[in-house]
Amino acid sequence: MTPDEFRRHGRQVVDWIAAYQEKIESYPVRSQVAPGEVLEALPPSPPETGEGFEGVLADLDRVLMPGITHWQHPSFFAYFPANASGPAILGDLLSSGLGVQGMLWATSPACTELETRVVDWLAQLLELPEAYRGNGVIQDSASSASLVAVVAALHRAGGGRPGRDGITARYTLYTSSQTHSSLEKAARICGIGAAAVRVVDVDPQTLAMDPACLETTIARDRAAGAVPLLVCATVGTTSTTAIDPVPEIGVVCRRNDAWLHVDAAYAGVAAVCPELRWLNDGLAQYADSYVTNPHKWMLTNFDCTTLWVADRAPLVGALSVLPEYLRNQATASGEVIDYRDWQIPLGRRFRALKLWSVIRWYGAQGLRAHIRSGIGLAQELAGWIEADAAFHLHPHHPLGLVCFRPLWPQLPDAEADATTLRIMQRLNDSGELYLTHTKAGGRVLLRMAIGAPGTELRHVRLAWDRIAAAVRAETAP
Amino acid sequence: MTPDEFRRHGRQVVDWIAAYQEKIESYPVRSQVAPGEVLEALPPSPPETGEGFEGVLADLDRVLMPGITHWQHPSFFAYFPANASGPAILGDLLSSGLGVQGMLWATSPACTELETRVVDWLAQLLELPEAYRGNGVIQDSASSASLVAVVAALHRAGGGRPGRDGITARYTLYTSSQTHSSLEKAARICGIGAAAVRVVDVDPQTLAMDPACLETTIARDRAAGAVPLLVCATVGTTSTTAIDPVPEIGVVCRRNDAWLHVDAAYAGVAAVCPELRWLNDGLAQYADSYVTNPHKWMLTNFDCTTLWVADRAPLVGALSVLPEYLRNQATASGEVIDYRDWQIPLGRRFRALKLWSVIRWYGAQGLRAHIRSGIGLAQELAGWIEADAAFHLHPHHPLGLVCFRPLWPQLPDAEADATTLRIMQRLNDSGELYLTHTKAGGRVLLRMAIGAPGTELRHVRLAWDRIAAAVRAETAP
């Protein structure tokens, strides 16, 4: 593709995206296709000769769009938001256009140094601990970042032996029932195994980890000869945005020489608002590693997870391997950061460009306004639910996620839960909104996560009206 | 950013990239900045209020571009190529514009099903084994893909126990001295440890793994109670594109119940040319997993690694964790693929779009022409080196990489090697070309990897003239 062809097709794609943004509300939020429908509509074999780019755009509209679930739709309330934004899209486009590899400082110094700077900007915006300054890195996902934290914790706990000799001690890892599944996945991958994951009790109301139970669980494990490796405290769990008590957990970690990893994948970026800085409680004193995802609620397209560590030595110690073909003067000088030693993959895209574009376009004020808008809408919604006698509101909803369930007073619990899920399915099938569910205290809860850039009061109102009407229709005689 | 603002700034960025493509030869290939230079030029604190997008583009030119090493420059011969192309850039732009999450089939069916189809197209283009059909997935990098292969091998070898109970047996992993460092990294991360990596001898001429040595090494380990877990055979090593004898290695793997992982990160895509199908020798009979990188030499922007497995069960078995908040009807039906279970991270971008765009734009013929052009230029270069009495040509150069060294007949080896590295540094400092080095047989070799989309004979000729002149200047009295 010549530069002139790129200009022409590039404009087509830019216009396509702008038009998509303008008409996104005309699509059903959740794709309505059945398994195999898109696959069947795509030619089974690749073309022998090249085609124009128009065919791609035509098939995008004809074949792919029916199979798209619109995460940027203002009525998308499922999972957590995965914000896209104009400046992030364009920052990523610049990254693709430059096509550089940022594995080493030497392979494109600006790729490393912009990342150092912009991740530091984010640390300032969130008022993260001083110790994190210069010790941050962009990862693809919180899952990978948590695996990296576990591997660094192993390096520290085992004095470098686990990387060299493998897992030879009995390490244990502490989560709650509300911790993200990526911690169990990390335990499987890193060789300590899922059975080494201890599920610490939570407070039945707040669903926050119980530090006393953590302490007794660790004591029991130590008595049995295990080494308490890492505790994952979550600030804003995936299920219900429960907030684990990081300061109290940190005290237990310190006493037991365990690594404290704080997973604030969804909630962490909200600390851009000064009134939410309590989200950082305990980080400065106790957290060895901290992760939050600008790609969820901070307007930066996936993938952009930020991981900070209080001390980079165990991280780099665990992950650095230097073959001859990567040796270079800058690395040997020790004056530069090679971010390949801070992550699983070797190669790296220039992801800092999109975070840089986002922070510059919105500024601190714009980012705060976005977070506050999501929280404001969620609190409105919570008010409506609370005022409706047909519903139970999960009492804990400090951010953009609201969990609730219809009461179905006539039904036994299991049947009530099945009815709730059936109603949810019907609402999602309508294409007017998309929400997902979780379980807490053994009961199904509906989750409405608010935070797409385009979501306004009218979208939340429409969703609530549909939900309330569906429940009333079900209970009507 | 409104859709209209996106249209306007989108065009600016598209035009910026097209102009960059047009003037790329005016930049020094390798960045000339010193450590810290870019960092210092960036404001230490983020903006309080948002700014226009023009500032980003202005600072890109002023601050970042001096810190860019131009991987798309036609005189970039370092490492391996990392091809960008117009259709890949635009495919990725569409992915950003849609902003969907492809972690589950249900979260955007088209994201999963286009990936299934297009990875299958690639398997057809490369004529990969039938068993791989439907068993391919896009990963971010070959490093991650190799880690995934190791974890799947552990699942198979341990009957699922390693993921549950951790590493309790003594597993060993086999590489050669030429294997990519990501295998050692995988061994560290997965808990078997770097000391479990056996470095099998290579043929001193071809640098290919010696299957007889592999066999005796495995026998010795087994006698000592170890479980031979995985052998990594490389088709096109990073150092010199050595080709391990996959069929012979496969026989040894089969006899010893070891997983055969074939790393063809760089070379694999060359099998798009029928005359290079020998690159696939032994895959159909023996390879449990196979990885190649369209993001190196197949015109598809990083990140796009393709991994295939002969049997998906151990992969999914090792990596699947299903919390309540991800449960959905489609997953429960078993009719769909959830690619999150095929990788380390949970989240996924819609990477299939760029591979789809590339294959449709170029067609099989265009992709073949690109590979053949790189190989043709490399063979020309090899001819010039061979004809020059001042140089030693590494005899093995079947693809786009040519390795060689000045002879420096008057110098002892160590001094000769130091002189070679000094010359390389000086050439790279000139900005006219960029090449890197490796070591083979204890001696420094210069590497010239040809395969950037814009590289023509004149670029290779200029590089060779500069190299030859620099060596002559050094030896002149």
Instruction: Measure CB to CB from residue B360 to each of A55, A99, A180 and give the nearest one.
Output: A55
B224 in a structural domain: yes
pLDDT of A58 strictly over 70: yes
Q: How much of chain B is in helix, strand and coil states, percent to nearest 5?
A: 50, 15, 35
Residues B194-248 have pLDDT tens digits of 999 999 999 999 999 999 999 999 999 999 999 999 999 999 999 999 999 999 9
Residues B263-295 have pLDDT tens digits of 999 999 999 999 999 999 999 999 999 999 999
CA A29 to chain centre: 20
Type of residue numbered A462: L
Find where tokens 């550089």 sit. Answer: A100
Q: Which residue of B has its CA nearest to A435?
A: B325
What's the half-sphere exposure (Cβ side, CA atoms, 13 Å) at A242? 24
Chain A / chain B CB contacts < 8 angstroms: 515
Residues B403-453 have pLDDT tens digits of 999 999 999 999 999 999 999 999 999 999 999 999 999 999 999 999 999
Distance CA B121, CA B257 (A): 31
A57 in a structural domain: no
DSSP E strands, B135-203: 136-139, 171-176, 197-200
Find where tokens 């999602």 sit. Answer: A428
For chain B, say whether A26 makes contact (Cβ under 8 Å).
no
CB < 8 Å to B331, chain A = none
Type of residue numbered B144: S
Q: Dihedral through CA A224, CA A227, CA A229, CA A230, nearest 10?
A: 30
Check whether residue A274 and residue A139 sit in a common domain. yes
Distance CA B81, CA B367 (A): 15
Among residues 207-246 of chain B, which lie with CB inside 8 Å of chain A? 238-239
Among residues 120-149 of chain B, which lie with CB inside 8 Å of chain A? 120-122, 124-125, 140-144, 147
Asked if A197 and A175 touch (Cβ cutoff 8 Å), the reply is yes
The end-to-end CA distance of chain B, in Å, is 65
Check whether residue A387 and residue A290 sit in a common domain. no
Q: What angle do CA A52, A58, A60 make, to 5 degrees?
A: 110
Check whether residue B330 and residue B379 sit in a common domain. no
Find where tokens 């002139």 sit. Answer: A4
Type of residue numbered B251: V
Residues B307-345 have pLDDT tens digits of 999 999 999 999 998 888 888 888 888 899 999 999 999
Encode A188-226: b = buried (16+ Cβ within 10 Å), e = exposed. Answer: bbbbbbbebbbebebeeebbbbbbebbbebbeebeeeeb
For chain A, say whether B449 makes contact (Cβ under 8 Å).
no
For residue A444, the distance in angstroms to the closest alpha carbon of chain B comes to 10
- The first and second tokens of residue A371, run together, are 């977070």
DSSP labels for A386-424?
HT-TTEEE-S---SSEEEEEE--TTS-HHHHHHHHHHHH
For residue A333, the distance in angstroms to the closest alpha carbon of chain B comes to 10
CB < 8 Å to A114, chain B = 38, 42, 64, 67
Check whether residue A301 and residue A441 sit in a common domain. no
- The first and second tokens of residue B109, run together, are 């069916």
Phi-psi region of A90 (alpha: psi -120 to 50; beta: other; left: phi over 0): alpha
| Domain count across chain A | 2
- The first and second tokens of residue B440, run together, are 């083979």
Strand order in the sheet with B197-200: B136-139, B305-309, B289-292, B259-263, B227-234, B171-176, B197-200
A143 to A260, A264, A286, B348, B398: CA distances (angstroms): 16, 12, 21, 11, 39
What pLDDT is stored for residue B477 in this prediction? 67
CB < 8 Å to A141, chain B = 345-347
Asked if B296 and B303 touch (Cβ cutoff 8 Å), the reply is no
Check whether residue A19 and residue A151 sit in a common domain. no
Q: What is the DSSP letter of A450?
A: -
**Interval B151-156 mean pLDDT:** 98
Q: What angle do CA B115, B116, B122 make, to 5 degrees?
A: 85
Asked if A202 and A239 touch (Cβ cutoff 8 Å), the reply is no
Give the list of residues 6+ apart from residue A392 with CB closer than 8 angstroms, or none.
Answer: A404, A405, A406, A407
Type of residue numbered A366: G
Give the list of residues 6+ apart from residue A227 with CB closer than 8 angstroms, or none.
Answer: A157, A169, A170, A171, A172
What pLDDT is stored for residue B44 in this prediction? 97
CB < 8 Å to A5, chain B = 86
Task: Give the domain-ending residue among B349, B376, B408.
Answer: B349
In three-state form (DSSP H/G/I as H, E/B as E, the rest C), the secondary structure along B48-106 is CCCCCCHHHHHHHHHHHHHHCCCCCCCCECCCCCCCCCHHHHHHHHHHHHHCCCCCCHH
B451 in a structural domain: yes
Asked if A100 and B76 touch (Cβ cutoff 8 Å), the reply is no
- The first and second tokens of residue B398, run together, are 């079947």
- Cα dihedral B270, B274, B277, B278 sign: negative
Test B56 with A91 for CB contact under 8 angstroms.
yes
What pLDDT is stored for residue A155 in this prediction? 97
Give the relative orientation of helices A142-157 and B181-189 as an angle to the nearest 10 degrees.
Answer: 80
For chain B, say whether A446 makes contact (Cβ under 8 Å).
no
Other CB atoms within 10 A of residue B218 CB: 22
Instruction: Measure CB to CB from residue B84 to each of A37, A99, A301 and give the nearest one.
Output: A99
Test B189 with A140 for CB contact under 8 angstroms.
no
Among residues 260-289 of chain B, which lie with CB inside 8 Å of chain A? none
B290 in a structural domain: yes
A91 in a structural domain: no
Strand order in the sheet with A171-176: A136-139, A305-309, A289-292, A259-263, A227-234, A171-176, A197-200
Check whether residue B214 and residue B343 sit in a common domain. yes
For chain B, say whether A424 makes contact (Cβ under 8 Å).
no
Check whether residue A341 and residue A372 sit in a common domain. no
For chain B, say whether A422 makes contact (Cβ under 8 Å).
no
**Interval A264-287 mean pLDDT:** 98
Distance CA A18, CA A5 (A): 20
Helix (H) or strand (E) holding B148: helix B142-157
What pLDDT is stored for residue A93 in this prediction? 98
Test B68 with A110 for CB contact under 8 angstroms.
yes
Asked if B460 and B450 touch (Cβ cutoff 8 Å), the reply is yes
Distance CA A334, CA A139 (A): 22
Task: Give the domain-ending residue among A300, A318, A349.
Answer: A349
Q: Which residue of A has its CA nearest to B122?
A: A46
B93 in a structural domain: no
Check whether residue A168 and residue A278 sit in a common domain. yes
Test B96 with A363 for CB contact under 8 angstroms.
no
- Helix, strand, or coil (residue A256): helix
CB < 8 Å to B72, chain A = 98-99
For chain A, say whether B426 makes contact (Cβ under 8 Å).
no
- Cα dihedral B255, B259, B263, B264 sign: positive
Q: Identify whether A303 is preceded by a cis peptide bond (ω within 30 of 0).
A: yes
For residue A153, the distance in angstroms to the closest alpha carbon of chain B comes to 12
Give the list of residues 6+ apart from residue B351 with CB closer than 8 angstroms, or none.
Answer: B92, B95, B115, B138, B303, B304
- The first and second tokens of residue A203, run together, are 């407070």
Task: Give the domain-ending residue among B319, B349, B379.
Answer: B349
Q: Which residue of A has its CA nearest to B125?
A: A46
pLDDT of B475 strictly over 90: no
Check whether residue B252 and residue B186 sit in a common domain. yes
Find where tokens 């509906």 sit. Answer: A446
What pLDDT is stored for residue A326 in this prediction? 84
pLDDT of A450 strictly over 70: yes
The domain that contains A419 carries what CATH number? Answer: 3.90.1150.170
Check whether residue A192 and residue A272 sit in a common domain. yes
A51 in a structural domain: no
Distance CA A439, CA A366 (A): 34
Percent of chain A with pLDDT over 90: 96
Distance CA A360, CA B52 (A): 8
Q: Which residue of B has its CA nearest to A126?
A: B46
Helix (H) or strand (E) holding A374: helix A352-386
Range of the domain at A380: 1-46+62-85+364-477
The domain that contains A316 carries what CATH number? Answer: 3.40.640.10
Residues B335-365 have pLDDT tens digits of 999 999 999 999 999 999 999 999 999 999 9
pLDDT of A477 strictly over 80: no
For B93, counting Cβ atoms within 10 Å of its Cβ (0-12 exposed, 13-18 middle, 19+ buried), the class is buried
Distance CA B390, CA B378 (A): 19
Test A13 with B97 for CB contact under 8 angstroms.
yes
Among residues 332-351 of chain B, which lie with CB inside 8 Å of chain A? 333, 335-336, 344-347, 349
Check whether residue A253 and residue A383 sit in a common domain. no
- Helix, strand, or coil (residue B24): helix
Check whether residue A174 and residue A126 sit in a common domain. yes
B438 in a structural domain: yes
- Helix, strand, or coil (residue B118): helix
What pLDDT is stored for residue A325 in this prediction? 80
For residue A258, the distance in angstroms to the closest alpha carbon of chain B comes to 19
